[in-house]
Amino acid sequence: MSALELIASALGVWAVWLTVRLNRWCWPVGLLMVLMYAWIFYDGKLYSNMLLQVIYALLQGYGWWQWTRGGHSHSGVTVSRLGAQGILLSLGVGAVGALALGYLMSTFTDAAAPWQDATLSAFSLVAQVWMAQKRVECWPLWIVLDLLFVALFLQHGLYPTAALYGVFTLLAVNGWLTWRRDGALAPT
């Protein structure tokens, strides 16, 4: 446990809390968190997760843009549902990404948990894109992923991060309930 991990964890809680509240400031706060976690995961030899944080940094910009300038009127996207075809396509892309990244990490690195880390990382990208698009379905996917991340981080002694992902799970449940209640629920 390091001071950097504690600060990154606190920023993570704040960022997800802001996301649940549909507050666009979740994106810059999230950017600070993911940059810190990129270093933490590099140090812990969780390379897929390190790469995930780098991609998250780019997705923070995409999310900021979507929430502030996206949509038909360029005033930000609204909460919506993803149709079955969109869900299946996205999950298929996540599965292909998990297989490709898992193979690369298990073959070419000394990654501590190449397949588990790669799978969680690939599907986290799907959840993150859905979140940037304000898709209600991001939350149940985050719930599953966060619980699996808790197990991964406990295995590798990243206890504050495991606790953070436990809190993320609770926030994801709240986000799912809130966005379903407050958002437009018609498929787009």
Separation CA 153–CA 47 (nearest Å): 13
Nearest CA-CA partner of 120 in 89, 92, 141, 90: 141
13, 167 Cβ separation under 8 angstroms: yes
Query: For residues 95 and 6, which has the higher predicted lDDT (pLDDT)?
Result: 95
Mean pLDDT estimate for the chain: 91
> What pLDDT sits at residue 123?
97
Nearest CA-CA partner of 56 in 91, 88, 13, 12: 12
Half-sphere exposure of 162 (CA within 13 A, CB side): 12
> What pLDDT sits at residue 182?
72
> What pLDDT sits at residue 133?
94
Q: Is the pLDDT of residue 183 over 70?
A: no
Predicted confidence band of residue 38 (pLDDT cuts 50, 70, 90): very high
Separation CA 106–CA 96 (nearest Å): 15
Q: What is the mean pLDDT of residues 7-14?
A: 92
Residue type, position 28, single letter: P
Dump pLDDT digits (tens) for 92-119. Answer: 999 999 999 999 999 998 988 999 999 9
Q: Is the pLDDT of residue 186 over 60?
A: no
> What pLDDT sits at residue 187?
44
Half-sphere exposure of 112 (CA within 13 A, CB side): 16
Q: Is the pLDDT of residue 13 over 60?
A: yes
> What pLDDT sits at residue 188?
42
Q: What is the mean pLDDT of residues 151-168?
A: 91
